[in-house]
């Protein structure tokens, strides 16, 4: 048999890599033929790859990587408006920048959008991504109406949120959202949209920066304020019901709520950041939401060493405590991580790697303050580049691999950035030991960013969901065709 050429793939963290053969298909017929062809080789393993923005091994495999050509699987297919409600249907390889561009020009947006432009619909659906809006609007799953997915045998299922419980369509809906590409290949998806500005006017975003506890920081009070403000927004959205989707929210409701903490020698400092869409308004840009400007590129590079991160965080956040609010254009607000992406690309062009570890720990409410105090002590000699916190309600559906399955709590993300892997071994050790504490406190490490957790501890965190996921996989993909480096760890029997 001819030797297959293998290509090197890298995760966004620039630490995880794999070599694999590549199958590229440009339409559904070719995809079906490729899947059936692989069925003849029972030991073949296929890893679906979208935009390749995963931080860990979610889109890495060492046998064959499946690439869907954007010409056949991308693009926004339709923005449909009926009886005041709107939906968007997009191919799996459509980028979120394309989706936002097609919807925002008429004043509609998806409730949840990730922070990188070229991340794809298939990739985020398979990861059930979250955003600053998830506290009020839920994670991505809550805005997905339906999607089509091709299974290992080449058949296509139209999975729907409103399919009867127990039906194949519903089980695939619950399993493949956040299912990390282990059940089949998502072809396209339809999302509900919400109106955020007057028809025909591109929305802007108003953000309020609220420094908390500058005269004595306490984790308990800080987290409670974050939870209170998130629930305030969530209750307002729920009380409005269908109206919350059809018209901009009433003034004063900030429905994107997140928090950030930075540790300096004087002790931790915190800030709660709340945003809402607005129609018009004079731009008063925040440097954070200004795109990949030279200042941002300089800041990203400086933040790759600890002192630079300390100085950068302190000055940046002090600026925002003085300025207090901004009004930004929609795209640079939504895709604010583009500054980081551009910095990665610039280092690559110089032959260097901007390596990072970003890990999200989801903690039950009662345990979160204690966990954060442990994080503070453990990072005393190694300050993170960024520490962000969200409050997330428990999932509405029963998604098997979700960190918020039956768990409302705080999602604490620790990020470390460096050049060429400096600090990364020590960071990995730190994140692994914090993961053990997170598991012992009844929490889970999210599977969407880095997953520096021992395999046994990881499986224990997802034990209930894994029983369901394995059963569905045995039914839909009995030969175990679809896999990747992270699923191998989750499903392995080691």
Ligand X SMILES: Cc1cc2nc3c(=O)[nH]c(=O)nc-3n(C[C@H](O)[C@H](O)[C@H](O)COP(=O)(O)OP(=O)(O)OC[C@H]3O[C@@H](n4cnc5c(N)ncnc54)[C@H](O)[C@@H]3O)c2cc1C
Query: Which residues would be at the binding site for ligand X (CB under 6 A)?
Result: 12, 47-54, 58-59, 68, 92, 114-116, 119-120, 122-124, 126-127, 129-131, 180-181, 185-186, 337, 340-341, 448, 484
Ramachandran region of residue 57, left (φ > 0), alpha (ψ -120 to 50) or beta?
A: alpha
Q: How far is the CB of 186 from ligand X (least distance, A)?
A: 4
Q: By the 8 A CB rule, do 353 and 14 touch?
A: yes
Q: How far is the CB of 453 from ligand X (least distance, A)?
A: 17
Number of alpha carbons in the 13 Å side-chain half-sphere of residue 106? 16
* Best CA proximity match to 433, nearest among 419, 452, 450: 452
Q: By the 8 A CB rule, do 197 and 205 touch?
A: no
DSSP state of 394: P
Alpha helices in 13-63 (DSSP H): 28-39
Residue nearest to ligand X (CB): 123
Q: By the 8 A CB rule, do 224 and 178 touch?
A: no
- Which lies closer to ligand X via its Cβ, residue 188 or residue 229? 188
Integer Rg of the chain from CA: 22
Q: How far is the CB of 283 from ligand X (least distance, A)?
A: 23
- Which lies closer to ligand X via its Cβ, residue 219 or residue 482? 482
Q: How far is the CB of 473 from ligand X (least distance, A)?
A: 13
- Which lies closer to ligand X via its Cβ, residue 128 or residue 229? 128
Q: How far is the CB of 122 from ligand X (least distance, A)?
A: 3
Q: How far is the CB of 381 from ligand X (least distance, A)?
A: 27
- Which lies closer to ligand X via its Cβ, residue 90 or residue 369? 90
d(CA 53, CA 11) in angstroms, rounded, equals: 7
- Which lies closer to ligand X via its Cβ, residue 45 or residue 276? 45
d(CA 429, CA 312) in angstroms, rounded, equals: 25
Q: How far is the CB of 181 from ligand X (least distance, A)?
A: 3
d(CA 381, CA 323) in angstroms, rounded, equals: 31
Match 């965190």 to its residue by tokens: 461
Q: How far is the CB of 336 from ligand X (least distance, A)?
A: 9
**What stretch of H or E contains 208?**
strand 203-212
Q: How far is the CB of 486 from ligand X (least distance, A)?
A: 7
- Which lies closer to ligand X via its Cβ, residue 131 or residue 304? 131
- Cα separations (Å) of 231 from 188, 257, 392? 32, 9, 9
- Which lies closer to ligand X via its Cβ, residue 181 or residue 465? 181
* 27: β partners: none
- Which lies closer to ligand X via its Cβ, residue 23 or residue 48? 48
Sequence-separated (6 or more) residues with CB below 8 Å from residue 275: 132, 205, 206, 207, 208, 254, 255, 256, 333
Sequence-separated (6 or more) residues with CB below 8 Å from residue 455: 489, 492, 494
Q: How far is the CB of 28 from ligand X (least distance, A)?
A: 12
Would you give the end-to-end CA distance of the chain in angstroms? 32
Q: How far is the CB of 258 from ligand X (least distance, A)?
A: 10
DSSP state of 403: T
- Which lies closer to ligand X via its Cβ, residue 337 or residue 457? 337
Q: How far is the CB of 140 from ligand X (least distance, A)?
A: 8
- Which lies closer to ligand X via its Cβ, residue 46 or residue 369? 46
* Burial environment of residue 329 by CB neighbours within 10 A (0 to 12, 13 to 18, 19 or more): middle
- Which lies closer to ligand X via its Cβ, residue 60 or residue 372? 60
* Best CA proximity match to 136, nearest among 220, 254, 279: 254
d(CA 40, CA 59) in angstroms, rounded, equals: 23
149: number of Cβ within 10 Å: 26
- Which lies closer to ligand X via its Cβ, residue 177 or residue 369? 177
Number of alpha carbons in the 13 Å side-chain half-sphere of residue 159? 27
């Amino acid at each position: 048999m001819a030797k297959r050429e293998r290509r090197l793939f890298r995760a966004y963290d620039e630490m995880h890599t794999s070599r694999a053969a590549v199958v590229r298909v440009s339409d559904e017929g070719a995809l079906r033929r490729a899947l059936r062809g692989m069925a003849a080789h029972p030991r073949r393993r296929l890893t679906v790859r979208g935009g390749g923005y995963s931080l860990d091994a979610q889109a890495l495999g060492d046998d064959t990587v499946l690439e869907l050509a954007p010409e056949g699987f991308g693009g926004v297919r339709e923005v449909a408006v009926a009886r005041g409600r709107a939906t968007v249907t997009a191919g799996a390889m459509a980028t979120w920048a394309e989706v936002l561009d097609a919807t925002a020009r008429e004043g509609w947006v998806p409730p949840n959008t990730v922070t990188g432009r070229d991340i794809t619909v298939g990739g985020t659906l398979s990861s059930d991504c979250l955003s600053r809006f998830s506290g009020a609007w839920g994670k991505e799953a809550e805005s997905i109406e339906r999607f089509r997915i091709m299974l290992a045998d080449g058949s296509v299922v139209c999975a729907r949120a409103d399919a009867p419980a127990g039906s194949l369509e519903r089980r695939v809906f619950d399993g493949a959202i956040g299912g990390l590409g282990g059940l089949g290949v998502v072809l396209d998806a339809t999302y509900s949209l919400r109106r955020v500005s007057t028809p025909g006017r591109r929305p802007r975003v108003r953000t309020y920066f609220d420094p908390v506890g500058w005269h004595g920081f306490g984790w308990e009070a800080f987290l409670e304020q974050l939870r209170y403000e998130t629930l305030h927004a969530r209750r307002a959205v729920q009380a409005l019901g269908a109206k919350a989707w059809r018209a901009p929210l009433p003034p004063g409701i900030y429905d994107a709520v997140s928090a950030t903490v930075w540790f300096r020698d004087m002790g931790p400092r915190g800030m709660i950041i709340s945003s809402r869409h607005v129609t018009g308004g004079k731009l008063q840009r925040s440097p954070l939401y200004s795109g990949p400007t030279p200042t941002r590129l300089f800041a990203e590079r400086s933040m790759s060493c600890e002192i630079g991160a300390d100085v950068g965080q302190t000055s940046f956040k002090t600026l925002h405590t003085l300025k207090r609010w901004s009004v930004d254009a929609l795209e640079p607000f939504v895709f604010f991580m583009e500054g980081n992406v551009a910095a990665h690309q610039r280092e690559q062009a110089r032959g260097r790697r901007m390596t990072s570890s970003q890990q999200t720990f989801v903690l039950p409410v009662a345990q979160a303050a204690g966990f954060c105090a442990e994080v503070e002590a453990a990072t005393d000699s190694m300050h993170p580049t960024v520490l962000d916190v969200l409050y997330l309600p428990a999932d509405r559906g029963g998604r098997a691999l979700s960190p918020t399955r039956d768990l409302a709590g705080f999602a604490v993300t620790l990020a470390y950035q460096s050049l060429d892997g400096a600090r990364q071994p020590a960071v990995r050790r730190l994140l692994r030991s914090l993961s053990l504490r997170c598991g012992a406190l009844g929490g889970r490490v999210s599977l969407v960013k880095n997953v520096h957790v021992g395999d046994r501890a990881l499986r224990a965190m997802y034990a209930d969901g894994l029983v369901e996921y394995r059963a569905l996989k045995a039914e839909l993909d009995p030969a175990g065709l679809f896999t990747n480096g992270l699923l191998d760890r989750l499903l392995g029997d080691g």
